[in-house]
Structure 1
Amino acid sequence: MKIACVGLGDIAEKAYLPVLGTRADTKLLLCTRNPATLDRLGARYHVPPERRHTSLDGVLAARPDAVLVHAATEAHPELVTRLVEAGVPTYVDKPLAYELKESRRVADLAEERAVPLMVGFNRRHAPGYVQCLEHPRDLIVLQKNRHGLPERARTFVLDDFIHVVDTLRFLVPGTPDEVRVHARASEDGLLSHVVLQLAGPGFTALGVMNRVSGSTEEVLEVSGQDTKRVVRDLAEITDHRGQPTVRRRGDWTPVARQRGIEQCVEAFLDAVASGAPLSARDALETHELCERVVLAAEEAGARA
């Protein structure tokens, strides 16, 4: 398959190209407006000049079987729209767009054209989180904190907290019938922390992000039936049943596999190869919930 990577920034270089560049069944195409980056990464992954492109027009002319979009979020709606209109199966980093109406438009277009569209929520494929589906989940608490990074509500939520929102949706054992949001913002409108609560029959889920925390960390706790599992930074799993039992990531386990990125790419490419349908409809529900968080956070900023 001819697979194009559009956008060669940090996330593409660190996470996706090491996966795509080692697949024997793919012919890699690269696309970025930065010629120096294009040549550097083209040489690293042995991509010949004729498969290096500085525009989406060049990529489309090469007739790729699928495209992975890793460009800046502002460019997502236009890029994905053009790819969907061209009938190209598309994988795009979260979010689809900063504005919910644009996310809906793109998702609707893909459904109307019957073009596979997948949003890259890698934590749904991270082994430590997937294994939690087998654990009792009466109470779910996920913290994803940062150090010294207060931000405007929309970018705070759609660029980062969206991972927390989607992971809670992935892990809750039922449909929430109660949604609550608490946020704290400064007078200049910068959001420092947000808490999302989802509750339903027999379960409660809390998602927390503090962007003025003392450290950068991600900690998931799921508990129920007198047991608890803690997953720290997607790498270390501790089970509590009286005495704690610790499992750590193997020394040779690639970070991309630990974080679910490798599995995410495999799921996308396997679906494309087999002709299986891919829909962004469920991902859109995460975007809709994020919009509720954004509005609540903006209200908190207005009251500050």
Structure 2
Amino acid sequence: MKVGCVGLGDIARKAYLPVLGGLPGLDLHLHTRTSATLDEVGDGLRLPADRRHGDLDSLLAQGLDAAFVHASTSAHPELVTRLLEAGVPTYVDKPLAYRLDDCVRLVELAEARGVSLAVGFNRRHAPGYVQCADHPRELILMQKNRIGLPEDPRTMVYDDFVHVVDTLRFLVPGEIEDVTVRGRVEEGLLHHVVLQLAGDGFTALGVMNRLSGSNEEILEVSGQDTKRQVVNLAEIVDHKGQPSVRRRGDWVPVARQRGIEQVVLTFLEAVRAGRTLSARDALATHELCERIVREVSGHGGSGRS
């Protein structure tokens, strides 16, 4: 199976290439325009020169069976368009793009061409979060906080808060009937954002504070006098009377704990089986992100719809 990796930045090197590089029967090809990075990563993976490509045309000429896109978000629309037009099943690290119209166009292009398009929402495959989907979920609370990192609202929401948005959508036990957004923007930078989703019998709350006291990600689901908490994707605490704690095993790879390994295998298995994957559900997450950006940017930092 011939697979291309487009973009060799931090997330590709830390999370995806260790998985892809260890899969048997995979003919891995790399692409980046930065020659020093191409050499460094290629040498680390012991890939021959004919699997290293400084331009996209060279990569596409290999007749790829699938591709993973880990380039900067701003480059996604052009790169994904080229791959889809070439008929290559494509996995894109979230988000699809910074602009909703680009996201819609890419999803529609994939559907028109009958080509798989998948978006890298790895938390849907993270073991701790999957276990939360089997727990009573009358109330869902997710926090993903940072230290000293206020940012442009569109960049922050689409590049980072998108994980919170998608995880809440993944876990809500019914149709979302109400969406409420609150945020604080100062001098064009988003300091914090709060998203509330509500429906029949449930409320889901997502929080991101970019001026927090720690870098952390905490998910809690509760209902029927029981609560499950997942801390930094590695520790699961069940509360029913006395809390019980389960921690990530010493030999469990971080990529598996974070759902990276599983989402990669799911995508490649679909490609091997000839199943066409749709990004239509992922598009719903991007639509909600666009609503959040609009509310915090255009309505004084708060709103309800």
Shorter-chain TM-score above 0.5: yes
Aligned to 2:30: 30
Q: In 2, distance between residues paired with 1:264 and 1:302?
A: 35
Q: In 1, distance between residues paired with 2:216 and 2:21?
A: 29
Q: Which amino acid aligns with 1:115?
A: V
1:215-247 Cα offsets, whole Å, 9 max, x none, are 100000000000000000000000001000000
Q: In 1, distance between residues paired with 2:144 and 2:163?
A: 9
Query: Is the Cα contact below 8 Å between 1:227 and 1:240 reproduced in 2?
Result: yes
* Aligned residues with identical type, % of pairs: 68
Query: Is the Cα contact below 8 Å between 1:174 and 1:201 reproduced in 2?
Result: yes
Q: Which amino acid aligns with 2:229?
A: V
1:114-153 correspondence runs (5 A): 114-153=114-153
Query: Is the Cα contact below 8 Å between 2:98 and 2:155 reproduced in 1?
Result: yes
1:61 equivalent to 2:55? Answer no
Q: In 2, distance between residues paired with 1:135 and 1:40?
A: 44
Deviation at 1:189, TM superposition (A): 1.1
Query: Cα 1:29–1:203, aligned 2, differ >3 Å: closer, same or farther?
Result: same
Q: In 2, distance between residues paired with 1:101 and 1:4?
A: 26
Deviation at 1:299, TM superposition (A): 2.4
Deviation at 1:276, TM superposition (A): 1.2
Task: List runs of 5+ in structure 1 lacking aligned partners.
Answer: none
1:49-198 correspondence runs (5 A): 49-186=49-186, 188-198=187-197
1:249-260 correspondence runs (5 A): 249-260=248-259
Query: Is the Cα contact below 8 Å between 2:295 and 2:301 reproduced in 1?
Result: no
Q: In 2, distance between residues paired with 1:301 and 1:203?
A: 28
1:277 equivalent to 2:254? Answer no
Q: In 1, distance between residues paired with 2:231 and 2:278?
A: 30
Q: In 2, distance between residues paired with 1:274 and 1:301?
A: 49
**Aligned-pair RMSD on alpha carbons?**
1.0
Query: Is the Cα contact below 8 Å between 1:3 and 1:29 reproduced in 2?
Result: yes
Helix, strand or coil for the counterpart of 1:167?
helix
Q: In 2, distance between residues paired with 1:91 and 1:302?
A: 33
Q: Which amino acid aligns with 1:18?
A: P
1:257-268 correspondence runs (5 A): 257-268=256-267
TM-score, L = length of structure 1: 0.98
1:189-225 Cα offsets, whole Å, 9 max, x none, are 1100000000000000000000010110000000000
Q: In 1, distance between residues paired with 2:88 and 2:3?
A: 10
Aligned to 1:19: 19
Q: In 2, distance between residues paired with 1:71 and 1:273?
A: 24
Q: Which amino acid aligns with 1:142?
A: M
Aligned to 1:242: 241
Q: In 2, distance between residues paired with 1:26 and 1:58?
A: 18
Helix, strand or coil for the counterpart of 1:157?
helix
1:208 equivalent to 2:207? Answer yes
Task: List runs of 5+ in structure 2 lacking aligned partners.
Answer: none
Aligned to 1:223: 222
Q: In 1, distance between residues paired with 2:300 and 2:147?
A: 20
Q: In 1, distance between residues paired with 2:128 and 2:229?
A: 9
TM-score, L = length of structure 2: 0.98
Q: In 2, distance between residues paired with 1:13 and 1:223?
A: 36
